[in-house]
């Protein structure tokens, strides 16, 4: 990838337009087609940092990459049986989701969550599905 610096406003406006167009075309079905968004980034940045098959260590490795790169301020998680809850704090794409919500588009993608899902699939060989994505204040 290129190290050229781009405006976050520009990136988020393009991301917004892409997500909105996809939602307009597919509606709720869009969420099942975006689960691998971020795969190239995952393979390049996250996978090399994963040194364990322990779920907590995998999630921490992805979080470390995302915080080091300034994509999120932090991340926390909770495991309940087979359900993994991930809370992303300060995602730089949060403004995109807020604009979409203002247009009555429910959240259907979360790239940080996708990266964790990709890690679980790749390292632990477990199928993963994003059950719900919520936009909360904070």
pLDDT tens profile 19-74: 999 999 999 898 888 988 999 999 999 999 999 999 999 999 999 999 999 999 99
Rg from Cα positions in the chain: 15
State the Cα torsion 40-97-109-66 to the nearest 10°.
40
**pLDDT number for residue 19:** 95
On the question of pLDDT at 81 being above 50, the answer is yes
Q: What is the 8-class DSSP label of residue 46? A: I
Is residue 130 within 8 Å of 117, Cβ to Cβ? yes
On the question of pLDDT at 18 being above 70, the answer is yes
Q: Is 55 exposed, middle or buried (0-12, 13-18, 19+ CB in 10 A)?
A: middle
Q: How confident is the model at residue 1 (pLDDT cuts 50, 70, 90)?
A: low
User: What Å distances lie between residue 69 and 47, 65, 81, 91, 116, CA to CA?
Assistant: 15, 6, 31, 11, 16
Q: How confident is the model at residue 138 (pLDDT cuts 50, 70, 90)?
A: very low
Domain range summary for the chain, segments of one domain joined by + = 8-124
């Amino acid at each position: 990838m290129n190290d050229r610096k781009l405006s976050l406003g520009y990136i988020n406006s393009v991301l917004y337009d892409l997500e909105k167009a996809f939602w307009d075309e597919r509606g709720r079905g869009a969420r099942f087609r975006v689960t691998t968004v971020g795969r190239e980034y995952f393979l390049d940045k996250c996978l090399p940092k994963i040194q364990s098959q322990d779920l907590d260590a995998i999630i921490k490795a992805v979080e470390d990459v995302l915080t080091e790169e300034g994509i999120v301020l932090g991340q926390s998680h909770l495991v309940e049986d087979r359900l993994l809850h991930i809370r992303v704090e300060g995602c730089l794409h949060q403004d995109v989701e807020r604009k979409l919500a203002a247009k009555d588009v429910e959240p259907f993608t979360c790239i940080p969550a996708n990266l964790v899902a990709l890690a679980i699939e790749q390292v632990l060989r477990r199928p993963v599905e994003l059950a719900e994505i919520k936009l909360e204040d904070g």
